[in-house]
Amino acid sequence: MLAYLGRGRAELELGRLEDAEATFGEALYLEVPFRHPNPERHAELVQFVLDAKAEAYYWLLVSQVRARRFEAAVETFRRMTQQFPQGKDTHFGKLAVLTYGKALAGLGRYTEAGEAIQQVLDAAMRSEKVIPGYDIDPYGVSACKTLAEIAEQTTGFFPAPLQYRAGQGFIFKRELEKATWALKGVLAGARTERERQTWGPRALLDLAIAYERLGRLYEAALAYQGLYRMFPDDARADRALRLARQRYQELAERDRWFRALADEVTRDIQVRLSGIGAEKAKYNQAVEWQRQGRYADAARKFLEVQPEIQQGGKTIEVDFYGSALANAGYCFFLAAREASGALAEGYRQQAEQALHKAFTFGQQRGEPGAQAAAAYYLALMEASEERAAYEQALERLQAFQGPLAADRVYRDRALGLMVHCLLRLGRLAEAERTLQALRQDFPQSDEVASRAFQLGDAYAREAARHTDARDRAAALTALRGASRWLRLWLEGNPDASFEHRAWVGNLVFRSGDFKAAAAILEGAVRAGEAAELSPAQREALVLPYARLQLAICLHRAGQHERALEQLERAAAEFRAAGRDPQEEYLYASARSDALFALWQQRRDAARLQELKAAHEAYWQLLDRLEEDGWQALAVLYELPYPSYFVAKLEADARLLEIYLGLKQWRFVHNQIEQMLELGKLDDVVHTRTRGDVIGRIESEGAEGVTVRTARGETVVVAAEEVSGIERVPPELRQRFLQMQERARQEGGL
């Protein structure tokens, strides 16, 4: 495999693109040449080959793009994602996405190219390896450079976020002239005011820096001026203002004409730092310190903002004063979390004072924004682990159901916090109704997914309590609640770990929704196969149990061959861990069910002995479980039989049906005859003092149960004497009689 990769890369470097494409294409068909006797070593070999194939796919894409075979490259990427669905998160997977973007651009599909590269950028911004001074990791730098290459191919502009990254890409490539062209296009590419406000200031700042590096100070100063004039409320505006004056002053030393421009900027600074501008400067500085984690400093700076100013002989209200108070309270709260002892308590007191002041100010001035911020932050403090005053927090948050119901800034977080408080108080039904309201009013809010997980987890813990108490009905209700909300959480978390997927899949499986469970468990198994499992996960056999549940879901969906394939792989994993799969109820029952269903479909005599052995293993395990063991499983899983009594009879019926297939007619006939004589196909009424009464139940009421015995006697068991009833389903009894008649006819008995 390494030889193929080395040769292909050499051909690529020599410009022999057709040969390189053929070499990398051949590498994709290589497999592990032998099976290593050590399972762990064999697994390492298999993973090595898979990793090498992922690299081969990447270099194949590169060779096709260099040869301008863009359609072929798009098809190659499609095949790669099918074979390695999680591969886009790996090293070569990310590089392949960027090369795929180039292929799409080569076909003129620039929008799709940008969307593909955006995936790499999104991951780069979430990475733990972000480059200091930037907001992306090294893969993000590669994505920016790719966007720069594509930008040169088109006369239009990308959307603002991608256009800015293209400008960054030119800077990374040290092509500063091209960077200035790309960064000028950011404002033109802004589709919404939010995009304009987010990316415009960054683009203008980078544009100014690029001009400085080119030695074009006048254009740099104009870019800085553009930033503070177009975006006066941006946190970078004050810095841009100072830099603009500095550049004009440098230019004025060479040419007196620039003095007027320097003086103009100086006047802008004086205006900005007087009146409303001065208060806004304080506010922006506080925001910057808050972003840097300097919470106590930020809180004190927020408190410096004045409620009103005197300007031109008039009193002018500062419209962001309420927000400044609320933010001061929140920053003191964050500072308290990082402090300890008396210092932390002091910060908490200052936080409450500022927030109460903000709320009162908002009420007096009719500013719902200040009220909403203060109410939410006060409730957040009350619901913190230090206070745990959940009832008090809920009472405060009720304002978002009344006078603050129109708020769109804090209300989603407030509803999410209500869910948290209700769950801490054990009020699941109310928490669910609140989460439904949150989901309806704010379907795109991040609060929906996080609170869905919290509610689903609470239902899962409740299901565990009911399971321990052997309350099957209550456990099933709780499991369905857990399934409903955790599936919603999983939909919003495509990068969920194997452990989370397996956990959610198990809960959905136990809730009885096998179709939904199949999709989740299939994803869990793929993730488990690709992940490096921890010792705890291997010891808990998380992957083989997920396979067992997936196999049952596949069988119930009619995919019996796939179910058997997963069962065999699970069996191998159990054996590798020193466990006998035949002792696992799910394995034994699922294998019997899948083989029996296949035999019913095809009547393949060659598989009948395999079915017989599998079902006998299940029958023996069922016998060893006894009533108590089966009941424990019945509470844990949604088993298809109402009782152990019926499960045993169903197992007997299937075994006899298999013997009919083996043409052992006399054995089947005699077995059923014996069961009839011994009353094993009759109902059973367990009594407290006089033993079991066996026969057909004719009636059951408040006074007791009437049974017709095999001898024709009528026995009435008083209600207080009855300790339990086992009924034979009529269709099951009829099935035995039909098998006996069939044995008689086919066997000529």
Summarised one tens digit per residue, pLDDT across range 423-441 is: 999 999 999 999 999 999 9
Q: Residues with Cβ < 8 Å from 643, sequence gap 6 or more?
A: 726
The dihedral region occupied by 526, where left means phi > 0, alpha psi between -120 and 50, and beta the remainder, is alpha
693-719: b or e for each residue (b if 16 or more CB lie within 10 Å)?
Answer: bbbebeebeeebbbbbeeeeeebebee
Helix 498-510 × helix 542-556 angle, to 10°: 40
Q: List the single range of 215-219, 274-278, 557-561, 578-582 with lowest mean pLDDT.
A: 274-278
What is the pLDDT averaged over residues 158-174?
87
- Please, what is the average pLDDT of the chain? 87
pLDDT of 272 above 70: no
Write down the pLDDT at residue 34: 62
pLDDT of 606 above 90: no
Write down the pLDDT at residue 274: 63
What is the pLDDT averaged over residues 173-199?
87
The dihedral region occupied by 705, where left means phi > 0, alpha psi between -120 and 50, and beta the remainder, is beta
Residue 273: pLDDT band (50, 70, 90) is low
Helix (H, G, I), strand (E, B) or coil at 314: strand
Give me the percent of the chain exceeding a pLDDT of 90.
37
φ/ψ of 607, rounded to 5, equals: -100, 0
φ/ψ of 530, rounded to 5, equals: -90, -20
Contact 459, 467 (CB under 8 A): no
Give the residue among 282, 276, 303 at the shortest CA–CA distance from 235.
Answer: 282
What is the pLDDT averaged over residues 490-500?
89
Of 489 and 124, more confident: 489
Neighbours of 566 (CB within 10 A): 26
What is the pLDDT averaged over residues 21-31?
76
Residue 74: pLDDT band (50, 70, 90) is confident
pLDDT of 494 above 70: yes
pLDDT of 418 above 70: yes
Residue 1: pLDDT band (50, 70, 90) is low
Give me the percent of the chain exceeding a pLDDT of 70.
96
pLDDT of 156 above 80: no
* Bridge partners (DSSP) listed for residue 695: 683
Neighbours of 277 (CB within 10 A): 18
pTM strictly above 0.85:
no
Neighbours of 253 (CB within 10 A): 9
Helix (H, G, I), strand (E, B) or coil at 526: helix
Q: Residues with Cβ < 8 Å from 423, sequence gap 6 or more?
A: 431, 454, 455, 458
Question: What Cα–Cα distance (Å) separates residue 474 from each residue in 471, 477, 510, 511?
Answer: 6, 5, 13, 11
Write down the pLDDT at residue 87: 59
What is the pLDDT averaged over residues 615-621?
92
Residue 130 CA to residue 136 CA, distance in Å, equals 5
pLDDT of 32 above 70: no
Residue 374 CA to residue 409 CA, distance in Å, equals 12
The structure tokens listed for 450 are: 């996080």
Residue 7: pLDDT band (50, 70, 90) is confident
Helix (H, G, I), strand (E, B) or coil at 704: strand
Residue 387 CA to residue 333 CA, distance in Å, equals 12
pLDDT of 358 above 80: yes
What is the pLDDT averaged over residues 319-347?
92
Pairing of strands 722-726, 714-718: unpaired
- The dihedral through the CA atoms of 589, 595, 598, 599 has a sign that is negative
Q: List the single range of 211-220, 248-257, 387-396 with lowest mean pLDDT.
A: 248-257
